[in-house]
Amino acid sequence: MIKATKVRLRPTKEQEMKLRQSAGVARFAYNWALARQRENHDNGGKFLNDQALRKEFTQLKQREEYTWLYETSNNITKQAIKDACAAFLNFFRKKAKFPRFKNKRRSKPTFYNDNVKLKFKYTDENQQGYFLIEKVGWVRVSEPGRILDTKFYNPRISFDGKYWYISVGQDVGKPNPTLTNESIGIDLGIKDLAVCSNNMTFGNINKARKTKKQTKKLRRLQRKVSRKYEMNKKGKEYVKTRNIMKLEKQIRLQHRKIANIRLNHIHQATTKLAKTKPERIVMENLNVKGMMKNKHLSKAIGEQGFYNFKRILLYKCDFYGIKVVEADRFYPSSKTCCNCGDIKKDLKLRDRTFKCTSCGNEIDRDYQASINLSRYTA
């Protein structure tokens, strides 16, 4: 089984400049290929495959004003053009939205490294690990013990606003664990991230003290930069000063910190669920897009990260061989009494405790929903 491993790079200043240059070249090649596809499509032409575009790009590099493209690896531009073509095709196959051009300030700096030319060495003297990246050199990595002596698949180097990372696929082999006969139902919500039928509950990390503290700090920075924009306003135009740029960098890092806290909480919850090794896990198929239209709850729903929870849980369950079932979107898991099966159609969102009029059963609505989901049969 191919498992992705992401470790932090520790480049020198010279190596970091080369990494930024490689990411810039990848962005340029992606935007160029996307522009050619859009131009060709608007003129009524057929889809241009990546081989034809790569030949055209090679001729472009021979022009005098584009000689700087030779300073980075050729494999970077090849893969960037492939990615642009794949993104263009996914739109017409209705798998994704129409691809957008990558902006220097807004897009995530990332590029591909050829898996054949990517090398890893481990020094026993100082317990350090190094990756050989094309046209960059040997770059030191953190946690070298996580890198296995296997073939690497789809290596990607990326920058998250503070640190550089390398992500590689490694063949780790699929385990064969002994699963229990248990069926776990998971009810996702805003009050708690997930309530499970086996009495496991994962709270809302956004209500935690550390998250509130970081969110408060973010609001202060945003107000501060807003005041500076108003102070430096010339007529109808806003002027960006060096102090504003410094504050905006702090805001980006603060967003990164909050996002990492939320993602770490999801990883801990999904790992704990997968390690219980049940036979199957049943989740509800939420209409998140429709839920986001509620102006009172949209922010809280977006901060929970339901899509990330589902995506991460799926690949962790696949690793252990656990079956994941999605219940029907209109399955009344919260409105059905888990004791007698009676459906309470007039149950409101504000009713946090379910009270059955038939059998008198009183139970938390989220816990009841998880029990009903654990019994779900398609």
Q: Domain holding 197: CATH number? A: 3.30.420.10
In this structure, the answer to whether residues 150 and 281 fall within a common structural domain is: no
In this structure, the answer to whether residues 70 and 2 fall within a common structural domain is: yes
pLDDT of residue 32: 97
Q: Which two tokens stand for residue 235?
A: 């007529």
Asked whether residue 91 is domain-assigned, the answer is yes
DSSP state of 234: B
In this structure, the answer to whether residues 193 and 167 fall within a common structural domain is: no
pLDDT of residue 362: 85
Contact 162, 344 (CB under 8 A): no
In this structure, the answer to whether residues 155 and 291 fall within a common structural domain is: no
pLDDT of residue 351: 84
In this structure, the answer to whether residues 43 and 124 fall within a common structural domain is: yes
In this structure, the answer to whether residues 165 and 309 fall within a common structural domain is: no
In this structure, the answer to whether residues 189 and 93 fall within a common structural domain is: no
- How many folded domains does the chain comprise? 2
In this structure, the answer to whether residues 122 and 191 fall within a common structural domain is: no
Angle between helices 74-92 and 13-42 (to 10 degrees): 40
Asked whether residue 229 is domain-assigned, the answer is no
**What residues contact residue 288 under an 8 Å CB cut-off, 6+ apart?**
301, 306, 307
In this structure, the answer to whether residues 157 and 274 fall within a common structural domain is: no
- The alpha carbon torsion through 132, 136, 140, 146 (nearest 10 deg) reads -40
Apex 173 CA angle, 167 and 179, nearest 5: 115
Domain holding 301, by residue range, is: 183-204+263-327
d(CA 36, CA 316): 39
Contact 76, 22 (CB under 8 A): yes
Residues in the chain, pLDDT under 70:
none
Asked whether residue 356 is domain-assigned, the answer is no
Apex 259 CA angle, 253 and 263, nearest 5: 145
In this structure, the answer to whether residues 168 and 289 fall within a common structural domain is: no
Long-range contacts of 221-225 (CB under 8 A, 24+ apart): 221/247, 221/250, 221/251, 221/254, 222/251, 225/251
Asked whether residue 164 is domain-assigned, the answer is yes
pLDDT of residue 292: 92
In this structure, the answer to whether residues 50 and 137 fall within a common structural domain is: yes
In this structure, the answer to whether residues 102 and 195 fall within a common structural domain is: no
